[in-house]
Amino acid sequence: MSNPKTSPQRRNSDLAMIHIGAKRLFGDVSKGGDGREAYEDWLERHTGKRSAGKLTTGQRIDLIKMMRKDGLIPDRSIGGKGPTANGEERPTSSQWAKIAALGRAMGWAQGLEDERLRSFVKRTAKVSSTKFLSRTQASKVIMGLEVWVAERQDTNEGGGNAVS
């Protein structure tokens, strides 16, 4: 029996996860893509290698953990399992990633666990924590954060006072 950490399926899954996060960070990271050079530089800074395919299993796992911590890829445990208490579907991986990215744009370094994001979720979606969001509520949170990020950018570019 093979070790699941070194199986080809595990390797492919790890590489896919790394590339999903890289795409969110740099855009097109495929060979010849606009974000490829920046992605390779970033990967080399973090791992010492310019190709995710050359990483060891341990290096891939460490990189994925770091990317999860930074909110680039969703944590496996986010949002629980099954429908919410009122029967609605849980947010999609894309919604979780978008919320995390918008939180980073606000300067909230703790990702989906940041207390400021939790406060925003409580005010916007009327739930006590991000992990209790439904898809509909996640959409409301995303829309609210997009507006807030845009307002902050407009205020900062205009030289006015930004409210955080």
Domain ranges of the chain: 8-69, 93-158
Res 137: pLDDT? 92
The percentage of the chain sitting over the pLDDT mark of 70, rounded to a whole number, equals: 84
Res 4: pLDDT? 46
Instruction: Tell me which of 60 and 76 has the higher pLDDT.
Output: 60
How confident is the model over 29-37, as a mean pLDDT?
Answer: 85
Judged against a pLDDT cut of 60, whether residue 5 lies above it is answered with no
Report CA dihedral (40, 46, 51, 52) to the nearest 10 degrees.
-130
Judged against a pLDDT cut of 50, whether residue 3 lies above it is answered with no
Say if residues 39 and 47 touch (Cβ distance below 8 Å). Answer: no
- CA dihedral (8, 96, 69, 22) positive or negative: positive
Confidence band for 72, pLDDT divided at 50, 70 and 90? confident
How confident is the model over 117-127, as a mean pLDDT?
Answer: 91
Say if residues 66 and 107 touch (Cβ distance below 8 Å). Answer: no
Judged against a pLDDT cut of 80, whether residue 94 lies above it is answered with yes
Judged against a pLDDT cut of 60, whether residue 79 lies above it is answered with no
Judged against a pLDDT cut of 90, whether residue 54 lies above it is answered with yes
How confident is the model over 83-98, as a mean pLDDT?
Answer: 80
Judged against a pLDDT cut of 90, whether residue 48 lies above it is answered with yes
> 0.75 cut: is pTM over it?
no
How confident is the model over 40-54, as a mean pLDDT?
Answer: 92
Say if residues 26 and 42 touch (Cβ distance below 8 Å). Answer: yes
